[in-house]
Amino acid sequence: MGLLRIMMPPKFQLLAVLAFGVAMLFLENQIQKLEESRGKLGNRLTFRGPRPEPERAIARHEVREIEQRHTMDGARDAPLEESEDVVIIYNRVPKTASTSFTNIAYDLCGKNKYHVLHINTTKNNPVMSLQDQVRFVKNVTSWREMKPGFYHGHVAFLDFTKFGVKRKPIYINVVRDPIERLVSYYYFLRFGDDYRPGLRRRKQGDKKTFDECVAAGGSDCAAEKLWLQIPFFCGHYSECWNVGSRWALEQAKYNLVNEYLLVGVTEELEDFIMMLEAALPRFFRGATELYRTGKKSHLRKTSEKKPPTKESIAKLQQSDIWKMENEFYEFALEQFQFVRAHAVREKDGELYLLAQNFFYEKIYPKMN
């Protein structure tokens, strides 16, 4: 700087000092940035270094689960035994003693070693979207850990053959006199039942009786509310849910006799349970005895229900909707009684299952 002071005019000496100061500030700023970068890099290297002991334990557990999963893959590829590869779907119609019957399935699942799963749909919508139909079919058919399985829920019949599955589930159901079902549902929405008495219901506080509703032309007791059992059996076609559709009625009948193993009636629930135990003992062994002699914890009764008057019944029976729903109920009842007549006999007021009534003979070629 002494040489610069001698050789350079005062004006230029001042400019040189200012330039030197700016350069020093720039260098300090760069050094600070480098120190910050080094600190961040150190932090990253520390995070990527050895994990604390709890994290390593979790990682080891996850690895073991993956290894076990791969080890089990071979067992999963092995076919299930025929008695285990069974799924029952009970697409229960509301207010047909469905909870009473389902609770028997729950009571028996531990003893008989099967799984019970409730199909809980959003807002109890009985119609699934197409993508949910695909998901549901895939779950039911490929969820090995849940087989044998008993699925139940308020969902419409779903034709599994449309999805190309090799093994269809077994469908069962229960139907009820349509006016009796509607009356029960009407009071259930207002007063609930003895199964969950503290649960607040949608129409709680409405004290109007069913007869008063019919006399006033209310919507909750209108004939259109009878249209439920037909679409539940008809399925996921749009026409099924067109109130009063003759096509829906015929499709429901077709499905009942072709797609359902057994359809009982609420009024003869014990006979339905007895026949299921005979046909599907893997699931229902002990069901009849439980129904007859158990503590009846499975039974469910709607509170505050009052029988409708003859006038209310007659008014509903004038509608074409009742006539169609009743036709379907009578059709189901006739089919159930036909199946029962070939399966049981009555003696001293009690029903008894018939023994096996067929055998094989004339078997060729003869065994040496």
Please report which confidence band the pLDDT of residue 8 belongs to, taking 50, 70 and 90 as the band edges: low
User: Whole-model pTM?
Assistant: 0.76
Residue 324 has a pLDDT of 98
Residue 245 has a pLDDT of 98
Alpha-carbon span 62 to 33, nearest angstrom: 40
Alpha-carbon span 294 to 191, nearest angstrom: 26
Q: Does domain 81-353 have CATH number 2.60.40.2140?
A: no
Residue 79 has a pLDDT of 76
Catalytic residue among 70, 154, 236, 342: 154
Please report which confidence band the pLDDT of residue 52 belongs to, taking 50, 70 and 90 as the band edges: very low
**150 or 349: whose pLDDT is higher?**
150
Phi and psi (nearest 5°) for 50? -55, 135
Question: Within the chain, what is the greatest distance between any pair of CA atoms?
Answer: 137
Average pLDDT in the 2-6 region?
A: 47
Instruction: Out of 44-48, 257-261, 347-351, give the one with best mean pLDDT.
Output: 257-261
- 290-335: per-residue pLDDT in tens? 998 876 544 556 656 789 999 999 999 999 999 999 999 999 999 9
Question: Does residue 157 register a pLDDT over 50?
Answer: yes
Active site residue 152: yes
Please report which confidence band the pLDDT of residue 251 belongs to, taking 50, 70 and 90 as the band edges: very high
Residue 202 has a pLDDT of 57
- Other CB atoms within 10 A of residue 149 CB: 23
Active site residue 154: yes
Alpha-carbon span 344 to 348, nearest angstrom: 13
Alpha-carbon span 267 to 273, nearest angstrom: 12
Catalytic residue among 61, 118, 152, 298: 152
The CA–CA distances, whole Å, from 368 to 114, 181, 361, 365 equal 42, 62, 17, 9
- 79-131: per-residue pLDDT in tens? 778 889 999 999 999 999 999 999 999 999 999 999 999 999 998 899 999 99
Residue 347 has a pLDDT of 79
Phi and psi (nearest 5°) for 208? -65, 130
**237 or 196: whose pLDDT is higher?**
237
